[in-house]
Amino acid sequence: MTKRKWYAKPIYLLVALALVVSLGLVAIPMAGPVDASPNDWYVATSGNDTSGDGSEGNPWRHINYAIGQASANDTVNVATGTYDEIVIIDKENLAVQAGSKILASYFMASTFLVS
């Protein structure tokens, strides 16, 4: 009867596999944070919530939609026009502005005109 090498025993393979998996799970959180830099989103009366991507060249139509897509510290830039919607800003440090004017950081309105 031949003696098995130490690395050929199943228990050692299981321990090695467990070590590799546990190191992988520890390394994943240390990969660093996802880019959390603030974004600028754009809204225009000519925009589209379905096909728009919130960029300046392809804006969304509704302010509330942009607020829903935005994160804390983002800015929603509103183009000139009349927006007939109840706007609720429920995110921390979210700026809604038209040009250089800050429209609000927390407010509700049913219709407002951006000129």
pLDDT tens readout for residues 41-54: 999 999 999 999 99
pLDDT level of residue 110 (50, 70, 90 thresholds): very low
Phi first, then psi, for residue 100 (nearest 5°) are -95, 0
Q: In this predicted structure, what is the pLDDT of residue 4? A: 62
Domain ranges within the chain, ordered by starting residue: 40-114
Dihedral sign of CA atoms 38, 103, 115, 78 in order: positive
Query: With contact defined as beta carbons under 8 Å apart, do 109 and 71 qualify?
Result: no
pLDDT level of residue 82 (50, 70, 90 thresholds): confident
| Span 22-48, average pLDDT | 70
pLDDT above 90 as % of the chain: 31
**Location of structure tokens 């000129």:** 115
pTM here? 0.61
Structure tokens belonging to residue 11: 């228990």
Q: In this predicted structure, what is the pLDDT of residue 98? A: 82
Query: Across-strand partners of 81?
Result: 114
Q: In this predicted structure, what is the pLDDT of residue 94? A: 85
Distance CA 55, CA 68 (A): 15
Distance CA 102, CA 40 (A): 14
